Structure 1
Amino acid sequence: MENASEIIGRLHNPSIYGIFIVGLIVVVGFYFGRLAKKLRLPAIIGYMIFGILLGPSILNLVTSDTQSHLSFITEVALGFVALAIGLELDIAQLKRHGKAIILIILSESFGAFLIVFAALYLLTKDVVLSLMFASVAPASAPAGTVAVIQEYKARGPLTNALYAVVGFDDGLGIIIFGFAFAIARSLLLKQAGVHAAGTFAILLKPFLEILMSFGLSIAFWALFTLLSRKLRTSGEVLVLVFGFVMLVTGLCEALGISLILTNMMIGILIVNTHSKRLIQHIQDELPNLMQIIFILFFTLAGTNLHIGALPSLGLIGLTYILSRSIGLMGGAWFGATIGKASQKIRKYLGLGILSQAGVAIGLSLIVKQQFAGVGKILGYVGGNPFTEGDRIGTALLTTITATCVVFEIIGPILTKIALTKAGEIGEVEQKVNVDSS
């Protein structure tokens, strides 16, 4: 029989340790979620708190190396979240408030961009810094909103509107970021007396990315249609859906295009073109899989929430949190009002779209990498030039990492409040109260 030291030694193998951590996350994370429910909070808050405990901030059981090994779980989870959003976007239902949805998406995205830019420019008088913070402000975290909706089995006009907004604003966010990034880079180069070459190509990139996402989604939808014709049981359909999400997500990562947009479009095409029987099969099986996915996704997200980053928020971080919240909620209200959406949507939709996480941090990381060495030289660090681009990239990534901790915690709570006030989870709340009494 092997001794304890040999067993512990094997746990240092990244693959074995990764399997162990996944099991730990699913089992213990599940009970953290139940504890959060008893406190009348969304289960995902419990998952994230457990993740924070596991992560570098406290116990460091999930190190940066482990996070890297398990990063594919996050991508796959986002793929399933995007597919779930798409499957809820029935065109016939959307037509009832189609114009309002478009106006809401435009208003909340540009509202966040403009308010954040104005607030940070008034604070810093730095155009490029303000532009970059504004460019990541529209980026949302659809997983948080979808998880709360599915946990409480919410149904109604606000729920339908939330699915559409958190799904489609990803595409608009990519375009806004692409334009702002190109303009900011040109300004940095101009300040340094360098001609900004390739600006048009940078401006074109987000449009090409969205076109590629649409093209890939149509191709995989056609293949799914062909392969699903002879499927008879819910289990068979789930196998095909699981495989397709994995394939599409992997291809999107390889091609550098939005896995959220692509998987969401496949879901939209399926729900609007396939038989009710097939769609029912998917809707019967997917929620069971989604619970495990949400436990893994949000616990791993929690391991990436560095509590130690909160002190670095400062005045810029607080201004960003306040101005982004005002821009999103005010923009959603404005779009819903001029689009003549229902009173529920006008009053409460803005509360459900505040979550922000991985996409915003990813965009900030792009800025840090692409702005490195760009612009005027401010000094030297270790013999290497530290430029204006380095300063902006570092400030953006540090601050957005800290603000995401705040948005990821308050976002799901506010989503639950919005759905409760709109009367779309009242029955489930009643059932939970009866069961727990």
Structure 2
Amino acid sequence: MIPEQSASPVLHQLLVIGLVMVASLYVGSWVKRVKLPSLIGYMFVGVLAGPYVFNGIDNGLLTHLDFIVEVGLGLVAFTIGAVLSVASFKKTGRGLASIILGETIIAFLVIALCVYLFFDNLPLALLLGAIGAASAPAGTVAIIQDYQAKGPLTNTLYAVVGFDDGLSVVIYGFALVFAKSMLLQTNGHAGYSVLTQLWLPFQEILLSILVGVIAGYLFLALVKKLRKEGDVLVLSSALVMTLVGVSEQWHLSLVLTNMVAGMVLVNSGREGVISRVRQATSMIMPLVFILFFALAGAHLDISALSVVGVGGVVYIISRCIGKAGGAWIGGTLGGADPKIAKSIGLAILSQAGLAIGLALIVQKEMAQIAQVYDLPSAAEIGATVLTTITATTVIFEIIGPILTRHVLIKAGEIRDR
């Protein structure tokens, strides 16, 4: 018998993770029977196991497991890229680009305007608008794969949630620069270089694309020499982990780097190679989704809902209007299929890791400005942004996947089972 003092904390952590995975599997299956997406069940288990309820997964363990969420998001991005062929772009063409531009830019404008009218604070409005323009690709892809959705709306969704991330990063970069500039200039500080800062979001996007292209071609050269499906899975996983690590080290977009690598595969590889990579990665996706959404649920503080307030309601309503209305306007102007333009906005409302990550950056930047330039108002803006995004993420992560499933069923691209 092992003495209690010698029991390894690692064993306790593995026990908790194992129990969460088993519970997520069965709760997800039960939730699906009552016509809800499985990932809602995974998140529910994560919320219960997380630090804000039973504390099985405490904050320390949650921090140590954050890399799983990042790798999962990278694999989702690679999966998105691996279906974005040039042929699929030719079918949707200008309509796809218009939908992406519409649902991000118009969402940004609508959220920023509504928040400004409510709070009378332009820096705050710009920051919440920029963060609200981003969608969460993992939830959408999980629904598509869980229900094996196929069709033109599904193909468009893959592209929209992928490129949405890149455009949102650019918008966010601009918004943060102008928000900081307004705060400093209003309070008599003129030493802030706007032009230098404006280059940073473009630099992030361009470097992300470059790294993704290089990694994609190296991966393609290696994977076509492999014969065993297990080896293909190992190499694919290694690619995603490497790109996530490079993105973290160089402050790149892990979604864009992995998505571009997947696009290189699908547009430059032979059909046999592409099929083998897709088949190999599909084997690990159920495990990735369970871990990803259970840990995402553990991050959600349900008590944050109590502080949503009227400002949070304004943000939620304006984001829904901006996303749905922007996709419809963009799709209509771009000549997209009217059915897709009308419905796709409701399928991209999920808000998760990227939004919270950007909100944390805002909170850190604003706290630094408050300290260096003695501007308490900057710290207040950062706290408001983080509180609003954290609280509304709980809501969007519940309604987002449900609406995605509803839209795909209505489009006839998944069976209502």
Normalised to the residue count of structure 1, the TM-score between the two structures is 0.92
Aligned-partner residue type, residue 125 of structure 1: D
Q: What CA deviation, in whole Å up to 9, does each residue of 1:268-301 have, x standing for no partner? A: 1101110111111122222220000000000000
Deviation at 1:21, TM superposition (A): 2.7
Deviation at 1:186, TM superposition (A): 0.5
The answer to which of 19-28 and 31-40 deviates more is: 19-28
CA 1:373–1:272 in 2, change beyond 3 Å: closer, same or farther? closer
**Superposition pairs of residues 30-69 of structure 1, within 5 angstroms:** 30-69=25-64
Partner of 1:238: 233
Partner of 2:404: 415
Instruction: Assess if the C-alpha contact under 8 Å between 1:103 and 1:336 holds in 2.
Output: yes
Deviation at 1:39, TM superposition (A): 1.1
Aligned-partner residue type, residue 68 of structure 1: T
Partner of 2:74: 79
Instruction: Assess if the C-alpha contact under 8 Å between 1:52 and 1:58 holds in 2.
Output: yes
| 2:22 counterpart of 1:27 | yes
Partner of 1:381: none
What root-mean-square deviation, in Å, do the aligned CA atoms of Structure 1 and Structure 2 show? 1.6
Deviation at 1:375, TM superposition (A): 5.7
Q: What CA deviation, in whole Å up to 9, does each residue of 1:158-189 have, x standing for no partner? A: 00000000000111000000101000100100
Partner of 2:386: 397
C-alpha distance in structure 1 between counterparts of 2:85 and 2:228, whole Å: 23
| 2:328 counterpart of 1:333 | yes
Instruction: Assess if the C-alpha contact under 8 Å between 1:188 and 1:375 holds in 2.
Output: no
Partner of 1:435: none
**Superposition pairs of residues 208-227 of structure 1, within 5 angstroms:** 208-227=203-222
Partner of 1:201: 196
Instruction: Assess if the C-alpha contact under 8 Å between 1:175 and 1:207 holds in 2.
Output: yes
Instruction: Assess if the C-alpha contact under 8 Å between 1:29 and 1:47 holds in 2.
Output: yes
The answer to which of 329-338 and 416-425 deviates more is: 329-338
1:10 to 7, 11, 23: 7
Q: What CA deviation, in whole Å up to 9, does each residue of 1:227-251 have, x standing for no partner? A: 1232123222112111111111111
Instruction: Assess if the C-alpha contact under 8 Å between 1:135 and 1:177 holds in 2.
Output: yes
CA 1:318–1:95 in 2, change beyond 3 Å: closer, same or farther? same
User: Residue 204 of structure 1: SS of its match in structure 2?
Assistant: helix
2:93 to 90, 98, 101: 98
Deviation at 1:376, TM superposition (A): 10
| 2:248 counterpart of 1:253 | yes
Aligned-partner residue type, residue 294 of structure 1: F
| 2:77 counterpart of 1:88 | no
User: Residue 372 of structure 1: SS of its match in structure 2?
Assistant: helix
| 2:148 counterpart of 1:159 | no
C-alpha distance in structure 1 between counterparts of 2:305 and 2:265, whole Å: 42
Q: What CA deviation, in whole Å up to 9, does each residue of 1:50-87 have, x standing for no partner? A: 01101122101111111101011001000100001001
C-alpha distance in structure 1 between counterparts of 2:259 and 2:302, whole Å: 32
Aligned-partner residue type, residue 174 of structure 1: V
| 2:279 counterpart of 1:302 | no
Aligned-partner residue type, residue 30 of structure 2: L
CA 1:396–1:274 in 2, change beyond 3 Å: closer, same or farther? same
C-alpha distance in structure 1 between counterparts of 2:12 and 2:110, whole Å: 45
Deviation at 1:144, TM superposition (A): 0.1
| 2:267 counterpart of 1:272 | yes
CA 1:254–1:90 in 2, change beyond 3 Å: closer, same or farther? same
Aligned-partner residue type, residue 21 of structure 1: V
Instruction: Assess if the C-alpha contact under 8 Å between 1:373 and 1:387 holds in 2.
Output: no
C-alpha distance in structure 1 between counterparts of 2:48 and 2:378, whole Å: 34
Q: Report how many residues are paired.
A: 417
Normalised to the residue count of structure 2, the TM-score between the two structures is 0.97
Partner of 2:258: 263
C-alpha distance in structure 2 between counterparts of 1:112 and 1:310, whole Å: 23
Task: Using the aligned pairs only, state the percent identity.
Answer: 45
Instruction: Assess if the C-alpha contact under 8 Å between 1:113 and 1:327 holds in 2.
Output: yes
C-alpha distance in structure 1 between counterparts of 2:110 and 2:117, whole Å: 11
Deviation at 1:20, TM superposition (A): 2.4
User: Residue 72 of structure 2: SS of its match in structure 1?
Assistant: helix
1:374 to 353, 369, 377: 369
Q: Which runs of 5+ in 1 are unaligned?
A: 379-384, 433-437
CA 1:321–1:278 in 2, change beyond 3 Å: closer, same or farther? same
Q: Which runs of 5+ in 2 are unaligned?
A: none
C-alpha distance in structure 2 between counterparts of 1:223 and 1:120, whole Å: 46
C-alpha distance in structure 2 between counterparts of 1:306 and 1:233, whole Å: 43
2:348 to 344, 353, 356: 353
CA 1:291–1:376 in 2, change beyond 3 Å: closer, same or farther? closer
Instruction: Assess if the C-alpha contact under 8 Å between 2:123 and 2:182 holds in 1.
Output: yes
Q: What CA deviation, in whole Å up to 9, does each residue of 1:199-234 have, x standing for no partner? A: 222211011011111111121122112212321232
